[in-house]
Amino acid sequence: MRILFCGDVVGRSGRDSIVKNIPNLRAELNLDCVIVNGENAAHGFGITAGICRELYNVGVDIITTGNHIWDQREVIGYIDQDKRLLRPLNALPGTPGQGYVVHTTTKGQKVLVINVMGKLFMDPLEDPFSAVDVLLKKHTLGVAVSAIVIDIHAEATSEKMAMAHYCDGRASLVVGTHTHIPTADAMIFDGGTAYQTDAGMCGDYNSVVGMNKEIPIFKFTRKMPPPERMTPAQGEATLCAVYVETDDQTGKATLIKPLRMGGRLTATK
């Protein structure tokens, strides 16, 4: 199976990079499943039903999120209707929406996509490790599903890597989101799980993690309330993603490659 996971989409610039490139990438790479983290897609804060439809229309299969999932309040009433839009699995009981989905590809293969949020330096949620463990025991890789992808939305690199080792051999890909910077550690663990600490963002890198530079600099240098809210940078985005191939029999990864296109970062293709 061929899977593409795109990192956090930030604002209009990031959405444009998805809309422009995903249709071509689906064809060029013969992709079976495209997953995008969309939690910053709506002007840097959250996502809307309209943006979800925009992403689905260009070939995105599943949208993951993170700590900004509720920034656009309309999502509260929408998320239960959209089974392809995920919120963190380890959200507190009673939270609307779902943290995982079993997606069926056009070839009939089943892909379990899990969205979980870390606890270190993040909003307090339930334990991410036990939440993931319950699902992995119910959906055995290579038996119940053909592939398993876990988006761990977390601040601490150690927590992301610990999650990947915890799931080694039980998931096809564990990939980090949230920090908006692509890491240089794409690898396949001994048990066959592909991993990268952070996929990076789909956004304008002439910025501070996707936001126009002035307000973040003001906050760091003045330690005062900023004069206005941060806004996404609007220059050409770099699409940052992770491409993974898996064995059709076992579901384990056989290849992982970072993918970067457009914008300021060095391209990989």
Structure tokens at 65: 């999120």
Q: Domain ranges in the chain?
A: 2-261
User: Measured on CA atoms in the order 246, 191, 102, 126, is the torsion positive or negative?
Assistant: negative
90: its two tokens? 């380890």
Q: Which of 43, 68, 139, 165 is catalytic?
A: 68
The answer to whether the CB of 86 falls within 8 A of the CB of 58 is no
pLDDT of residue 148: 98
**Residue 139 annotated among the catalytic residues of the structure:** no
Q: What is the DSSP letter of 192?
A: S
pLDDT for the residue 223: 81
- C-alpha distance from residue 262 to each of 15, 184, 205, 239 (Å): 13, 18, 10, 6
Dump pLDDT digits (tens) for 168-218. 999 999 999 999 999 999 999 999 999 999 999 999 999 999 999 999 999
What Å distances lie between residue 44 and 38, 78, 200, 209, 249, CA to CA?
10, 19, 15, 10, 40
Residue 175 near residue 3, CB atoms below 8 Å: no
- Please give the CATH superfamily to which domain 2-261 belongs: Metallo-dependent phosphatases (3.60.21.10)
Q: What is the pLDDT of residue 116?
A: 98
Contact 80, 53 (CB under 8 A): no
pLDDT recorded at residue 269: 67
pTM over 0.85: yes
Q: What pLDDT, on the 0 to 100 scale, is given for residue 24? A: 97
Instruction: Please identify every stretch of the chain with a pLDDT value under 50, giving residue numbers as ranges.
Output: none
Burial annotation 227-266 (CB, 10 A radius, 16+ → b, else e) = eeebbbbeeebbbbbbbbbbbeebbbbeebebbbbbbebe
